[in-house]
Structure 1
Amino acid sequence: MNEQNRNLLFAILLSIGVLGLWEYMYAGPQRERAQHIAEQQRIERGVQNPTENVPGTPAPQSAGAPPEPAVVANTSMTRDQAIAATQRVAIDTPRLKGSINLTGGRIDDIALKDYRETVDPNSPNIVLLSPSGGPMPFYADYGWVAPTGANIVLPANNTVWTPEGTGTLTPSSPLTLRWDNGQGLTFRRTIAVDNDYLFTVTDKIDNAGTAPVSLLPYTLISRHGRPQSQSNYVLHEGMIGYLGDEGLQEIKYHDIEEEKLRSLSVTSGWLGITDKYWAGAIVPPQNEAITARFNATAGEVPRYQTDYLLAARTVAPGASTEVTGKLFAGAKEKRILDKYEAEQNIPRFELLIDWGWFYFITKPMFWALDSIFHLVGNFGIAILLVTVAVKALFYPLANLSYASMSKMKKIQPELVAMRDRLKDDKMAQQKAMMDLYKKEKINPAAGCVPILIQIPVFFALYKVLFVTIEMRHAPFFGWIRDLSAPDPTSLFNLFGLIPWDPSTVPFIGHFLMLGIWPIIMGFTMFLQMRLNPLPPDPTQQVIFTWMPLFFTFLLASFPAGLVIYWSWNNTLSILQQASIMKRQGVKIELFDNLKGLFRRKPKPQE
């Protein structure tokens, strides 16, 4: 295979690879999102299954097991109406606001003060937990279950707890709830919260009766309705846990709907339900054996639940017992997760962030970006500086590659003459070429090295931009207000001069969102390819001519931070290659190639 055909094959394979990447990261997720839009709209209107139980009725459960995923009423209440329908104690911390539901003693109303739905500073705060009775319930619940055959009145989801004392739950003011079952048992639930996202819940039983009582403590997180996922291909959303020797558990919503129930007996760990940027996770005592479960209940509105059950506690007459668990309800910030992992002894808690299979590249990439961000105060600048650092790190390899490419240009006339001389003897032509490469100490495959280096960096940066909340709504300069979102401008409405949104066009709207940065990227790619003369084969010429335009439209739907990286990387590569070519004494033919591209070719003589 000669050099030109090798380059053509590599270009085709690269294009196929990028098309596959686009299908994997964008087109596939877009189709799946579209399938869930109707269901999401129905759920947000509050339409529920008319056969479900009324609020406050305990869901059916097996003895000695946590309640099954709870059911909700046939109601069209809004979230605010559902909150107003019950007695509550407010939550107010530096980073959270919401309330504790005295009916059931649930943590079911949490909003994040530091995060909003859009880049508009006046847009609503992100809502994480929501109560039963409104749209998309998502809450944490605690309680006790009795062994088989026991006849003990226990607090349920319709139990109204009495707060001991008055005031708001704050980091300095824990909340204690009390309930008496009328059979000599007094239940107390003390809820404390730190300055970030961690709740500590202690359930205590005082036995004033005449007989010992044996009960099993449980904790659960329940979600009603499947949320609209960002991308089931690029990151995990759904049920998650890290459970002792069983390791990391990642179960997508549709998988648990088919599996129904997954139960694991382990010691130590955590489990919960995760979204792209937010999560609710329950953490049992790390030195006790637990039965951890992931389960789903089918219906018009599917219900999902993660829970754990501890061993029975026996409370003698006149004695008491208590159990403490923790609840994480907040944003998946790397710094916060690392802190909880270290200070609270929560194993591998940072796995709430989906770093992917290539975490050994993704995590160092995030560390570099985050470290530089704290120095310069702008993630866009951090991307540019990290690109320079990556270029410097791989400079020796790239230098050898570009030097080899420059030598190839120098011997190009000799190669052309050789092909013409031996055009009828392919074997002799290939042998002569190999001999020439060996004589000149040229590696013909060296030109692939810069691209091979760029692909894993490209993917790692894409993953970081997509999954880390630190990149969410991170601005650059000018019109780029969110590096994790595509460039919002479009050539097809003259970059905002025409009051029309091209993205509204059915089926092809995302292709019409061709912003300024994707155009810059395509132009730099075009210049980079014009540093070398077009191959003599007409088919190869067409491919290399149109490839920058193809990539321009392809990357237009990718995060702006990724397109800025690619543009900057292309610019640095042009400067690096031109410098090496000049040092090797090879003519830089950029302007000649540009002239040749637009020069009109003479018509062949009749």
Structure 2
Amino acid sequence: MGENKNIILALVLSGIILFGYQYFIAGPRIEAQRQYEALQAEQAAIEGTENAGVIEQDDAPSLPLAVSVDPQTDQSSSGNYTYADAKTIAINNAELSGSISLGGARFDNLFLANHNVELNGEEKVQLLVPANEDNGYFVRFGWTAVDASISADDLPKATTIWTSSDTELTPQSPVLLRWTNAAGIEFLIKIELDEQFMFTVTQTVNNTSGNPIQVRPYGFIDRKQEPVTDGLFVLHEGPIGVFDDNLEEQTYEDLRDADGGKFESTTSVGGWMGITDKYWMTVLIPDQAKQLAVSNLSYKASGGYRASYLEKAASVPAGGSFETQTQLYAGAKIVETIDNYQDEFGIKLFDRSIDWGWLYFLTKPFFAGIHFLFGLTGNFGVAILLFTVVVKLVLFPLANKSYVSMSHMKDAQPKMKALQERYKDDRQKLQQEMMAFYKKEKINPLAGCLPILIQMPIFFALYKVLYVTIEMRHQPFFGWIQDLSVADPVTPLNLFGLIPFDPPAVIAIGIWPILMGVTMWLQQKLNPQTNMDPTQQKIMAFLPIIFTFIMARFSAGLVIYWTWNNLLSITQQWYIMRKESARRAAKAANKA
């Protein structure tokens, strides 16, 4: 059982490390960020609104020198304009509301109509934020010049005021933005929206200048500030994309520290790039068959983060036109929706925008199973309970074999002790005799480890599913559990809310974590006792308490799963061990 003890010790250490990281690193970091943002907001209020309406100019993506020796930037030569100068076009469908600014043709004001910030609140989640705000988060499309056939001043810029006869973008009514330069070259941006989160942006150049021109279409997402994140290693939040058919996940810190402040590809065909939060994301999806001149995730020297692409040069003959099309996904990371878009548009690895992790082969099927059961029951908590029963049934043969082997081990304890006493001064000989004894008695000393080895990846896969998927956000169970995605809010430390006192999070142990600790203790008591040194015995005795504190800050859905899993294991173990007791009794009777 030495290997079993080592695994348990490793499990305890892993839990302590995770607990310590959450409370001593991630927690203070999040709190510091919140305090900083509150201070910034207070300072802005004190300073007044003198420059509140000025939109900071955003430059277009530029090619590395290896591709273009004369990269152009999208800068205004006529100065900034105030936000009030630009009209807006409303956005409305079943999932989204907001507006597109005609100033720079920016997607910069977007709310998720079916997702509230708080469980019982009315404030909607805001995904995109106007560019003139400190935490601006917006999307823009445009063109850069390639050579002297057209100058940068003859292209639409960050401060260009577009015109449109349309007033609202809906699934039934696309909008068309129009701008014509002094030479008569017309630039058009047609925007379409489906019933969910996908925009289709078609950029057109109509060259009526009488001379051929060359342009490069581009698109980018800018986020001016790093948002507050959970700070856990199990979830990626930040710049993300698929470049050269490979998923690339860059943290905000990665980009700040990267050489040149960016991750870049000049050979990618199609793919996608964007910025993801835990439950929401904004992603650009170029033509999947088109090779891009450059695509990247970057940290801008002026501050902020960007995901962008720049297409190869397009020649537009005199009197001719050029058109290119891009998708923009801006919304909630709903699994079924993203999978459908991946199939519909042939988007490479788009489902990986949800952080399924290294155990993808387990996490996604687990989600599918739980979601199917949710469809039958209407309650995610009940679906988790039923799914755990299914897992237990599948693993029952393995558990049965393990417990039977542990029972045989218990029967063999007297003989094993005799061997240990006989060869106590010759460890090598003792190991040889023990192995021969195991073989003779048909005992597998590793059998007790198998349930743990199998259970751990299942636990982490399920934890991943419950933590990263939006489907369980704000989903109730029964009683006081109104949101399975957050920690159990009820603790006996304040008499279940009767005393107006909020205990510190580190000791605010909820009811379900306590139940989990009790079931873990009961399960320990059922296990066959093995020879352990005093230190190991003390560690084992404290395991339920340690894990009660660790699991207290995990999502209630995960704690409910673990508690229910313990109860099923206790029942299963009691049944198997009862059969083994009957077998031993029959064997003893036969010998008698």
Q: What TM-score, normalized to structure 1?
A: 0.86
Report the equivalent of 1:562. Answer: 558
SS at match of 1:558: coil
Report the equivalent of 1:447. Answer: 448
Q: How does 1:437-516 map to 2 (within 5 A)?
A: 437-502=438-503, 509-516=504-511
Report the equivalent of 1:201. Answer: 201
Q: How does 1:61-460 map to 2 (within 5 A)?
A: 64-65=71-72, 67=74, 86-120=86-120, 122-149=121-148, 150-151=150-151, 152-165=153-166, 167-245=167-245, 247-259=246-258, 260-265=261-266, 266-290=268-292, 291-298=294-301, 302-416=303-417, 419=420, 433-460=434-461
SS at match of 1:510: coil
Deviations 1:512-551 (A, max 9, x none): 1200000100000111111146556543432222221111
Point out where structure 1 has 5 or more consecutive residues left out of the alignment.
Answer: 75-81, 503-508, 589-606
1:471 is displaced (CA, Å) by 1.9
**Contact 1:486–1:556, Cα closer than 8 Å, also in 2:** yes
Structure 2 counterpart of 1:30, which letter? Answer: G
Deviations 1:354-411 (A, max 9, x none): 1112211211211211121112111111111111111111111110101111222333
Distance 1:25 1:237, change over 3 A: same
The reply to whether residue 525 of structure 1 matches residue 526 of structure 2 is no
Report the equivalent of 1:33. Answer: 30
Structure 1 counterpart of 2:508, which letter? Answer: M
Distance 1:477 1:34 in 2: 31
Structure 1 counterpart of 2:524, which letter? Answer: M
Structure 2 counterpart of 1:469, which letter? Answer: I
Distance 1:587 1:66, change over 3 A: farther
Distance 1:7 1:163 in 2: 70
Distance 2:439 2:579 in 1: 22
**Contact 2:80–2:159, Cα closer than 8 Å, also in 1:** no
Distance 1:243 1:426 in 2: 56
Deviations 1:104-128 (A, max 9, x none): 11111110111111211x3311110
Distance 1:355 1:68 in 2: 40
With 425-434 and 552-561 compared, the bigger mean Cα shift is at 425-434
Distance 1:66 1:170, change over 3 A: farther
> What percent identity do the matched residue pairs reach?
42
Structure 1 counterpart of 2:289, which letter? Answer: N
Equivalent in 548, 552, 555 of residue 552 of structure 1: 548
**Contact 1:116–1:126, Cα closer than 8 Å, also in 2:** yes
Structure 2 counterpart of 1:442, which letter? Answer: I
SS at match of 1:317: coil
**Contact 1:43–1:225, Cα closer than 8 Å, also in 2:** no
Structure 1 counterpart of 2:516, which letter? Answer: M
1:559 is displaced (CA, Å) by 1.2
**Contact 1:238–1:252, Cα closer than 8 Å, also in 2:** yes
SS at match of 1:485: coil
Distance 1:564 1:534, change over 3 A: same
Distance 1:44 1:455 in 2: 44
Report the equivalent of 1:20. Answer: 17
Distance 1:86 1:26, change over 3 A: farther
Distance 1:206 1:56, change over 3 A: farther
Structure 1 counterpart of 2:54, which letter? Answer: P
Distance 1:56 1:47 in 2: 16
Report the equivalent of 2:535. Answer: 539
Distance 1:426 1:156, change over 3 A: closer
SS at match of 1:162: coil
Structure 1 counterpart of 2:299, which letter? Answer: A
SS at match of 1:543: helix
Deviations 1:428-456 (A, max 9, x none): 66555544433332222211221222111
Distance 2:493 2:368 in 1: 37
**Contact 1:43–1:135, Cα closer than 8 Å, also in 2:** no
Deviations 1:201-239 (A, max 9, x none): 112222332322222211111110111112251111111
Distance 1:421 1:189, change over 3 A: closer
SS at match of 1:457: helix
Distance 1:243 1:99, change over 3 A: same
Runs of 4+ in 1 over 6 A off after TM superposition: 82-85
1:53 is displaced (CA, Å) by 12
With 222-231 and 433-442 compared, the bigger mean Cα shift is at 433-442
Report the equivalent of 1:572. Answer: 568
Distance 2:544 2:409 in 1: 23
Distance 1:33 1:372 in 2: 35
Distance 2:557 2:145 in 1: 54
Report the equivalent of 1:591. Answer: none
Structure 2 counterpart of 1:293, which letter? Answer: N
1:42 is displaced (CA, Å) by 4.4
Distance 1:431 1:318 in 2: 90
Q: What TM-score, normalized to structure 2?
A: 0.88
**Contact 1:65–1:309, Cα closer than 8 Å, also in 2:** no
Superposition RMSD in Å: 3.0
Distance 1:35 1:308 in 2: 34
Distance 1:29 1:428 in 2: 50
Distance 1:528 1:262, change over 3 A: closer
**Contact 1:197–1:328, Cα closer than 8 Å, also in 2:** yes
Deviations 1:79-121 (A, max 9, x none): xxx977742111110110001111111111110111111211x
Distance 1:456 1:141 in 2: 42
Point out where structure 2 has 5 or more consecutive residues left out of the alignment.
Answer: 63-69, 585-592
Distance 1:530 1:321, change over 3 A: same
Structure 1 counterpart of 2:515, which letter? Answer: I
